[in-house]
Structure 1
């Protein structure tokens, strides 16, 4: 929404779920990808958005530019359905992107054309320093978040993550917060609030000599809502 949740408009070239690079030379030909994740729960920036879900993705990239689509459909018919489109650009450790998040559910049915009520447009800016990555996200159109007076406040989210290896597997520690009061995160966030503290472990599970799949598990705590989650997923 997750990643293209999201949360503006200062720069319209970029990526929803920012994937970082580290000084890799841009490819000279178009590259395509397609995949899907099966997750035990959909937790996005400390918010519970559903139970067991299938999350397909597809994308194209060329010379640092990328265009990707991502979705989430819960096994429970009442879960929110999501479809995100992200346009991004990355160079070295620098990333910039714009994501269009679209949500609908049985409780709040919405047409895709309902841009004001069913979409959130988010701009993202980040840099991967290697041992630490910092990303900032801000809503700039659609459902942007409001204050107590009902005025638009362009809800924002900042995250700091640190990858490391321990015990032969990959880990990632992350903390995320909302810098000012808004209605978009945590039901209502009145000022600076930490929304997510998480630790994720991942590894490749080998099935045969030619086939393996990524497996991950993540513990998440939202100090603002007092929510705690432990979820896992596999990628295909």
Structure 2
């Protein structure tokens, strides 16, 4: 319990420090709100299948380099658990981008216990369903080669091994955005960098393992002169699981 209290104090401290950082600027920064929802044919996370057709809303607020984002996912078939409960995920993320350096630091609470679990506010170390994750991302300052790399590590919460100790499960992802004619594309390579037991990904990880090779294509479908609907398709391969997915999605936003 003391460890979990320290974790909560640490997370709160990081968020507070970031808030003080952006609130202390001399000039008034532009405030931005993000409201959108994605309808996807299936939910695949870091190369691992989660559930079927899902709706995934996003609510975000940004000012300066600081951003707070709430992201969720709820499926439609209600067959994602042995009890037949609908899958439900809520992720809260605080992130700070350091000017034009291309560097972003983030802290997130990932919660996917599902509809009906009713334990969202349980933060006890060995009982909580929250996974607390820290991330560090960097984008190369090259206009013609905007490659980004991100490292994420579960540092507290439900990611435990069989001894009840933190797994510190990590995931590394490289992304390269580019365009061909009027289609926006993004190539992804994601992998587990080291052994971390069964961990959060639900499979034995004996060491380095590539889990997410993907290509995503996005295009706006014009409805009127002032309104268009973005659609996307993503082909995903998971060499570690010898699995593959093809996901289609529609994005709704103001």
The question of a shared fold, defined as TM-score above 0.5 by the shorter chain, is answered with yes
Which one of 112, 127, 137 corresponds to residue 138 of structure 2?
Answer: 127
Verify the 8 A CA contact 2:44 2:50 in the aligned structure 1.
yes
Q: Secondary structure at the match of 2:168?
A: coil
Q: Secondary structure at the match of 1:95?
A: strand
Give the Cα separation in 2 of the matches to 1:110 and 1:181.
32
Q: Residue 98 of structure 1 aligns with which residue?
A: 107
Q: 1:215 to 1:40 in 2, by over 3 A?
A: same
For 1:1-236, what aligned pairs fall within 5 Å after superposition? Answer: 12-13=14-15, 28-79=29-80, 80-90=87-97, 91-92=99-100, 93-105=102-114, 109-115=117-123, 116=125, 117-129=128-140, 130=142, 131=145, 132-146=147-161, 151-182=165-196, 183=198, 184-236=200-252
Q: Mean alpha-carbon deviation: is it higher for 206-215 or for 160-169? A: 160-169
1:125-172 per-residue CA deviation (whole Å, 9 max, x = no partner) reads 0111152100000001102243x6664220000011111112431111
- Give the TM-score normalised by structure 1: 0.84
Verify the 8 A CA contact 2:155 2:166 in the aligned structure 1.
no
Give the Cα separation in 2 of the matches to 1:209 and 1:185.
44
Larger radius of gyration: 2
Verify the 8 A CA contact 1:110 1:118 in the aligned structure 2.
no
CA RMSD of aligned residues (A): 2.2
Q: Please, which runs of 5 or more residues in structure 1 have no aligned partner? A: 1-8, 15-25
Greater fraction strand: 1
Verify the 8 A CA contact 2:104 2:137 in the aligned structure 1.
yes
- Which runs of 4 or more aligned residues in structure 1 lie more than 2 Å from their structure 2 counterparts after TM superposition? 9-14, 114-117, 148-153
Give the Cα separation in 2 of the matches to 1:64 and 1:32.
13
Q: Please, which runs of 5 or more residues in structure 2 have no aligned partner? A: 1-9, 17-26, 81-86
Deviation at 1:118, TM superposition (A): 0.8
Q: 1:194 to 1:230 in 2, by over 3 A?
A: same
- Give the TM-score normalised by structure 2: 0.78
Q: Mean alpha-carbon deviation: is it higher for 182-191 or for 115-124? A: 182-191
Q: Residue 4 of structure 1 aligns with which residue?
A: none
1:158-188 per-residue CA deviation (whole Å, 9 max, x = no partner) reads 0111111124311111100111122222522
Greater fraction helix: 2
1:190-226 per-residue CA deviation (whole Å, 9 max, x = no partner) reads 1111111001111111111111021110000111111
Verify the 8 A CA contact 2:156 2:166 in the aligned structure 1.
no
Give the Cα separation in 2 of the matches to 1:136 and 1:166.
28
